[in-house]
Structure 1
Amino acid sequence: MSARTESSRVAAVGRSLRWGARVRTRGLDSQTGMLILLSLVAVVCCLGIVYLDRYSPVTLLVVPLLVASLLLGPRTLPWFVVFVLTLTVLAVVGRRMRDVDISPASVTGIAMVFLLGLVVLLMSFRRSRLGVAGLQGESMFVDLRDRILNQGGIPMLPRDWHVQSELRSAGGTLFAGDFVVASRPAADRLEVVVVDVSGKGEQAGTRALLLSGAFSGMLGALPPEAFLPAANEYLLRQDWEEGFATAVHLSVDLATGFFEIRTAGHPPAVWRAAGSGRWSVLGSEGPILGLIPGAEFAVATGVFSHGDAVLLYTDGMVEQPHRDIDLGIDRLVGEAESLLRGDFQDAAKRLVDALGSRNDDRAMIVVHRL
């Protein structure tokens, strides 16, 4: 390595360190400026409560308190809450010094300010685990959500291939335990994985965020037969109490139409042969990911002819309480025959609208060769 190259790398590291220092300084200046501004607003509210008692209720101090809960970080927010509660006490004392009676409504307002201050303090202590203010934390989660949705985006494909995806979460939120990862690691190869993470609610959503990033990296770097074993070992290393997942993996040669499908404790793929127009289940078996070390996964193979299609989905599409899952798969096949007869426009969306439990996450992928 030449001295010039070494010096350029040192200079680059120095620029990065200086940039990081400027970012931290700007963040600190922003928090300090916001703290000063909100403190001035709180002082003005306190003076209004004392000297304009007919027009300024004690609950006026709730306004800077609520704004601070959204904008201040967990280090400065507790001190601001203490400051506001102190101003509340001073406002009451100031009214008494001016011989203003404290009505029952004012007493209730004072209690509300202290109660809200306690709630904001508890929120601040919880946020201290993350280290950012409320709006910043929300923006981080939105960014993570966008990343997981982008990883499920279908890459550009040749004209004779059409892939549709639809993802619905229980309760209508954009965080779900079901997710899709798609990759085109080579010009003639498409890889698609549909995953259902164990658990419900935010716990399943956070695990899905982590697994989507890991699976996305493995999907593009490993041969098709190695993906599910690698995903299984990855989950085993996490050592989660409820750390298992089911998955179905499709690998397609876009030039020849040859495909491989492997499942891991997941509902089987559904296949449509254009020649006969019949839909059938593709049997491929494998254990759930994250439970058995060294697990092996059977493969189902076939060839896409023009007009053929395959459906990949999660159990939310076919599973209902007190009903066998095989009956749900049969209903999926029947709906596919009815809804997609000669028309695959918005196929994934129409199937999700027609099937599945609204109390469970649902994902559907339709791969169709035109």
Structure 2
Amino acid sequence: MRKSGGLALVRRIGRRVEALGRRARRSHRAAFVALVLVQLVISVASDIWMTLVPASFLIVPLVVGGVLLQFGELVALTGITTAFGAYVVLSRGMTLPRIGFVLVLLVVGWIMITSAKVRSRLGVAGTRSESMLMELRDTLTAQGLIPQLPTGWRVEVAIQSAGGSTFSGDFVVSTMHDDLLEVALVDVSGKGIDAGTRALLLSGAFGGLLGVVPVEEFLPSANRYLRRQDWDDDFATVVHVVLDLRTGDFDVRTAGHPPAIQFDAWSGRWQTRDTDGPLLGLMEAPEFEVNHGLLKLGDALFLYSDGMVETPRQDIGRGTDRLAGFAERLVGQAFLGAADALVASAGGSGDDSAIVIIHRLAHA
């Protein structure tokens, strides 16, 4: 009982602190006034009880101000803190350690101001910029969710960003209408955070095109949109699949992307679904070939980015064979959890990696 009561108290305190933090973010002026008053109290207390309240406590509100305040308010707080610290410390005598402490205050303030200046370019203060990035990341993740599929079908998606970043240049968009499932796996030029902003822009645009334009017009429409962005040498590759969930018939189109591969459960063989199509964003009016296929009971279709199959020491063809070899080991478990397993085993650490597995179950 005591343990549960202690945990409840800790949770209540945590919620109070979080609520105060949200209020401070909304009212920057109130936070500024409060921090100045705290600095004043610390300065007076340190001057009176120098052994009990060290002047180094002045650094704590300054760091808090770097998180909560806007740029101008932080500059003012840094100046006030430095003045308070100089008065308290130097009033005890001009010694080298005391002068060094004042310099440390200036350095800490300069670091906080530099960080705030970068955030001020966005027009947001404090941790709100980081919150915006997390919201954008969550939006990109949410747009890659696969719709609820009828009985007998399973789709798995796994994406791994280069360098462990939560932003990736690979993303998935999908939609389902009239028992037709449309899935597009997109690879934006660049990797990690560098490609993340472009990936976010394209995911919204490409997600809006799916299910709205005719299936054969998706890639041409995406290409026209990318051309309008007037990016220098940036481009995107796409593999687009349209699957009839009633019959298992599917069409695959690619734009400069590695081909899809199909596992035939009856023969145990792997078949490459080759199509021809240029990179998006480089040509004015490209043409995209289509490859027709059929997913029978037990069959699976694999869509993947080049980070899964391409390395500096091997070409995409050998990488595709290697990916199929890894996937072969997962046939016995009906490819359950295969997306995460393949990204972990076959995905390259130096590039974004993504895979989509569409599996028609042998037993519904």
TM-score by length of 2: 0.88
The aligned residue for residue 158 of structure 2 is: 166
Partners of 2:287 and 2:334 lie apart in 1 by: 37
Closer, same or farther: CA 243–60 of 1 in aligned 2, 3 Å: same
Closer, same or farther: CA 72–136 of 1 in aligned 2, 3 Å: same
What is the CA distance between 1:139 and its match in structure 2?
1.1
Quick check: 1:220 aligned with 2:215?
no
Partners of 1:158 and 1:148 lie apart in 2 by: 25
- The answer to which of 335-344 and 174-183 deviates more is 335-344
Partners of 2:341 and 2:26 lie apart in 1 by: 51
What is the CA distance between 1:28 and its match in structure 2?
9.0
The aligned residue for residue 107 of structure 1 is: 99
The aligned residue for residue 181 of structure 2 is: 190
Partners of 1:80 and 1:295 lie apart in 2 by: 58
Partners of 2:57 and 2:96 lie apart in 1 by: 16
The aligned residue for residue 304 of structure 2 is: 313
Partners of 1:287 and 1:134 lie apart in 2 by: 44
What is the CA distance between 1:27 and its match in structure 2?
8.7
In the comparison of the two structures, how many residue pairs are matched?
A: 339
Quick check: 1:125 aligned with 2:104?
no
SS in 2 for 1:280: strand
The aligned residue for residue 70 of structure 1 is: 67
Closer, same or farther: CA 28–349 of 1 in aligned 2, 3 Å: closer
The aligned residue for residue 192 of structure 2 is: 201
Which residue of 287, 295, 312 corresponds with 2:286? 295
SS in 2 for 1:250: strand
What is the CA distance between 1:69 and its match in structure 2?
0.8
Aligned-CA RMSD value: 1.8
Asked if the contact 2:25–2:126 (Cα under 8 Å) also holds between the matched residues in 1, the reply is no
Which residue of 112, 129, 136 corresponds with 1:137? 129
Partners of 2:153 and 2:191 lie apart in 1 by: 34
Quick check: 1:35 aligned with 2:27?
no
Partners of 1:41 and 1:79 lie apart in 2 by: 14
The aligned residue for residue 23 of structure 1 is: none
Instruction: Note the residue ranges of structure 2 that are not aligned, 5 or more in a row.
Output: 1-22
Which residue of 293, 313, 321 corresponds with 1:322? 313
Supply the AA of the counterpart residue of 2:134.
V
What is the CA distance between 1:342 and its match in structure 2?
5.5
Instruction: Note the residue ranges of structure 1 that are not aligned, 5 or more in a row.
Output: 1-25
The aligned residue for residue 145 of structure 2 is: 153
Which residue of 262, 271, 278 corresponds with 1:280? 271
Closer, same or farther: CA 42–27 of 1 in aligned 2, 3 Å: closer
The aligned residue for residue 11 of structure 1 is: none
What is the CA distance between 1:215 and its match in structure 2?
1.0
Which residue of 60, 83, 86 corresponds with 1:86? 83
Supply the AA of the counterpart residue of 1:294.
A
- Percent of aligned pairs sharing the same letter: 45
- The answer to which of 155-164 and 108-117 deviates more is 108-117
Partners of 1:331 and 1:210 lie apart in 2 by: 32
Partners of 2:207 and 2:190 lie apart in 1 by: 21
Asked if the contact 2:170–2:353 (Cα under 8 Å) also holds between the matched residues in 1, the reply is yes
What is the CA distance between 1:353 and its match in structure 2?
2.0
Asked if the contact 2:25–2:68 (Cα under 8 Å) also holds between the matched residues in 1, the reply is no
Quick check: 1:258 aligned with 2:255?
no
SS in 2 for 1:214: helix
The aligned residue for residue 57 of structure 2 is: 60
Q: Which runs of 4+ in 1 moved over 6 A?
A: 26-29
What is the CA distance between 1:128 and its match in structure 2?
1.3
